[in-house]
Amino acid sequence: MATIAVDMDEVIADALGEHLRLYNALFGAVVSKDQLHGYHLRDIIPSENRQATENLVHSHDFFANLAVMPGAQEVLKKLSRDHEVFITTAAMEVPNSFDAKYKWLREHFTFLSPMNFVFCGAKHIIAADYLIDDNAHHFKLFKGQGLLFDAPHNRNVTGYRRVKNWHEIDQIFAKDLVISR
């Protein structure tokens, strides 16, 4: 049995999709995920839009409305039979998000105990065998194995084992592979 820590935004929750939807509605724009190869949204927009764009994420209900990433529920339900699954999200970066994140997890991941939810900042405080995350900086001090969940902003990041989607994670753990970078 392994302990698997799983990030929320861009891994099980489509925060970027919602951010783009709100951004496009606010500014009458048509930015898509395809345009964000190697970039965050903030990197490619006019500087005068940046503060309003950032504020969208810090609203109380932003995290309440996120779509579930394809396959996340099915694969985590399966993994949680043989492994200990924790949701480890850097919620401290967005302190307005606590209630919405908790409710979203309770709604969409009913098979996980809230005792396995972790709202943190720095993730090297997490004791797990694996950390599935789209932000590679969390892997630097983490003592387990990082699995970089593919996201537009991290396309140019190297040095970590990249997983494209939940189907690939399912395959990795089903085959009991030695996971290499």
Residue 162: CB atoms within 10 A of its CB come to 17
Tokens describing residue 122: 């720095």
Query: Least separation, in Å, of the C-beta of 173 and a copy of itself?
Result: 19
The number of C-alpha atoms within 13 Å of 157 and in the hemisphere containing its C-beta is: 24
Q: Which is nearer to a copy of itself, 84 or 150 (CB)?
A: 84
Residue indicated by tokens 């892997």: 139
Amino acid identity for residue 131 in this structure:
L
Residue 156: CB atoms within 10 A of its CB come to 8
Query: Least separation, in Å, of the C-beta of 58 and a copy of itself?
Result: 14
Query: Least separation, in Å, of the C-beta of 124 and a copy of itself?
Result: 7
Give the residue numbers annotated as catalytic, written as ranges. 7, 9
Tell me, letter by letter, the H, E, C secondary structure of 50-67. HHHHHHHHCCCCHHHHCC
Secondary structure element (H or E) that encloses residue 88, with its range: strand 84-89
Query: Least separation, in Å, of the C-beta of 86 and a copy of itself?
Result: 5
Binding residues for a copy of itself, per CB under 8 A?
Answer: 3, 5, 86, 88, 90-93, 95, 98-99, 102, 113-122, 124-128, 143
Q: Which is nearer to a copy of itself, 20 or 86 (CB)?
A: 86
